[in-house]
Amino acid sequence: MPYNTKDWTEVERKGKGGWFKNAQAEKVFHTWPYKLSIEHKRRVIPSTGYFEPHYNPGGSKIPYYARVPGDEVFSIGGLWSSWTNPDTGEPIESYTMITIGANELMSEVHNGENNPFQMPFIIAEGDVERWLDPDLPVAEIERLFRKFPADGMEAYEVPKAM
């Protein structure tokens, strides 16, 4: 939730439409509300893997699980925001995941519906500290937006119950 959200009614209204689920790296410097956070409010989302739908020609979808084998936990880039509910004074911290154009493997998997051919922005292990530096120049932030190598990942079909 952006820090300048007016009230809880606005949160409920926008929340029903999937308010700011993911921030696309290609648009993050120019799209509200992400441009409010990208320069100084970056975060890491620790992950063991993530789910993506694969769309069949007939329209059905199959869930896939993607991970970085050999890394028990890897880092996904995100943005955070803090908002105070003006009615209650309650502070609410929120975050969003950044997505990037999919690598070869994930282009095969995430191939339809909303934002196809995107995947989470997986931060290279050696770049995590730089990503979290609040004084990192914009040009350096942009350089970090690289596709994670397809040969460093695996994705496989999982039961729909997952």
Helices (H), 16-156: 104-109, 128-132, 138-144
Mean pLDDT of the chain, nearest integer: 89
Which two three-digit tokens encode residue 137? 């120049």
Helix H or strand E encompassing 10: helix 8-15
pTM of the model: 0.88
For 74-114, how does the pLDDT look when each residue is reduced to its tens digit (9 = 90+)? 999 999 988 888 888 989 888 999 999 999 999 999 887 76
What pLDDT score was predicted for residue 34?
Answer: 85
Pairing of strands 91-101, 22-24: parallel
Q: Give dist(CA 135, CA 84) in Å, integer.
A: 25
Q: b/e string for 73-106 if b means 16 or more Cβ within 10 A?
A: ebbbbbbebebeeeeeeeeeebbbbbbbebbebb
Q: Give dist(CA 119, CA 68) in Å, integer.
A: 13
What pLDDT score was predicted for residue 116?
Answer: 80
